[in-house]
Structure 1
Amino acid sequence: MHRKSPLQFSLLALFLGLTLSSCLRDKEELTQISYTEDEMAVLAQSLNLPNPVYNYLSNDFTIDFPGRPFDNFTNSFDDVHNHQATLGRVLFYENKISENNAVACGSCHHQDHAFADPVAKSEGFNGDLTLRNSLSLGNVSGYGSHRFFWDERAHSVQEQTQMTMQDH
């Protein structure tokens, strides 16, 4: 029987240790945007913001799906600014900008369902049903020149947003 030398055993242990440690996920650290206590007090009067406010620029949003239909999407996060993203988040969950002050985008586009609606038809004002359910909003800003809605009647994300607001 051939005996392993202590050097061979040490090298093998080092190799295995390095290999296994490379499989561990890096700890993600979110950078916080700091507001003074006075600024947060003013913001909290009208907005439902987390404290500390999220930093939308600290994450890597690059996703690669080779050979998939998502290849046409662009990584549009290069132009995202924290204050714009925070405003977008606030408006997405704000009921007061709806026709009856009761419905927000987030009322139908549920984060826990990939920003879609898990029912066949979304509930609109006064309990009326819309013509269909809310589709996922995944990477809508990077959708480019493709059309929106199942029948492609909206030519841009702006037009799609306006049509959606009119069908509630």
Structure 2
Amino acid sequence: MKSLCFKLLLILATLFVSCSSNNNDDYTDTEEGAFFELNLPETYFNYANIELPEHYTTNGFPSAFQFRAPIEYDNTPIDNPVTDAGATLGRVLFYDKKLSANSTISCASCHKSEHGFSDLDTLSEGFEGGLIRRHSMSIVNARFYADGRFFWDERAQTLEEQVLMPFQDDVEMGLTLQELIQIANEQSYYPILFKDAFGDSSITSDRISRALA
């Protein structure tokens, strides 16, 4: 009898530890609010050296047209090059609904991959159901936008500046930068991802900006 009780206690303890270790490893990834475990590969995907199609790297237009190959318009800052770890962190940040005032909205809520990273709705809904002020513009090929300015009115000077604004919008995600940093610090996976991307686990708004951009 004692042996049976011991075995039952051992099983319960194992289950408790297993459940506890997964409490913070999930993030909201869909509009239905389903939770998916962070299932990152042991080796990060290749983001830094993507092989672009030829029409991105070669100008196929006749000389009469004032066009150049998209790669020539690359607005990636010298001090924020694309890295595999940085892009992986950016992708997690992009889909994480915990990074909003009530854990209901992520960047991907308004910039849906299935709709060209835009939204079919004229005005997307913010974290409390309010409508944002303008249509969610597609972010496809933002890297190759020659002017390097963002939003419909181009008020953001760089992509690094733009990505922090929705977090702070009172309709979209409803946070301050300090609250954003605090929430990120409360998740078990971010210190690890930030360390891989930046060399240490410190989470700052500048690093969030760089990873998302």
Q: What range describes the TM-score normalised by the shorter chain of this pair? A: 0.5 to 0.7
* Alignment CA distance shift 1:137-1:69 (3 Å): farther
Match of 1:100 in 2: 102
- Alignment coverage as a number of residue pairs: 127
Give the % identical residues.
37
1:101 shift after superposition: 1.5
* Among candidates 37, 48, 51, match of residue 38 of structure 2: 48
Partner of 1:130: 132
Alpha-carbon distance between aligned partners in 2 of 1:158 and 1:87, rounded to the nearest angstrom: 14
Task: Tell me whether 1:80 sits opposite 2:82 in the alignment.
Answer: yes
Could you tell me how far 1:110 is from its partner in structure 2?
0.8
Post-superposition shift, 1:163? 2.4
Q: State which structure, 1 or 2, has the greater radius of gyration over its C-alpha atoms.
A: 1
SS in 2 for 1:87: helix
Distance 1:69 1:151, change over 3 A: farther
Quick one: structure 1 residues 153 and 59, their matched pair in 2 at CA, closer, same or farther if it must change by over 3 Å? closer
Q: Aligned residue for 1:31? A: none
2:90 aligns to what SS in structure 1?
helix
Q: Which amino acid aligns with 2:157?
A: H
Counterparts of 1:9-24 in structure 2, within 5 Å, are: none
Q: 1:146 maps to what in 2?
A: 148
CA distance in 2, matches of 1:160, 1:94: 18
Q: Which runs of 5+ in 2 are unaligned?
A: 1-20, 27-36, 173-213
**More displaced, 144-153 or 113-122?**
144-153
Q: Do the aligned partners of 2:73 and 2:144 also contact (CA within 8 Å) in 1? A: yes
- The alpha carbon displacement at 1:129 in A equals 0.4
Q: Structure 1's 166 and 83: CA in aligned 2 closer, same or farther, altered over 3 A?
A: same
Out of 61, 72, 78, the position equivalent to 2:52 is: 61
Matches of 1:100 and 1:73, distance apart in 2: 38
RCO (CA 8 Å, sep 6+): is it higher in 1 or 2?
2
Shift in Å, 1:123: 0.7
Task: Say what the alpha-carbon RMSD is for the aligned residues.
Answer: 3.2
Distance 1:124 1:94 in 2: 15
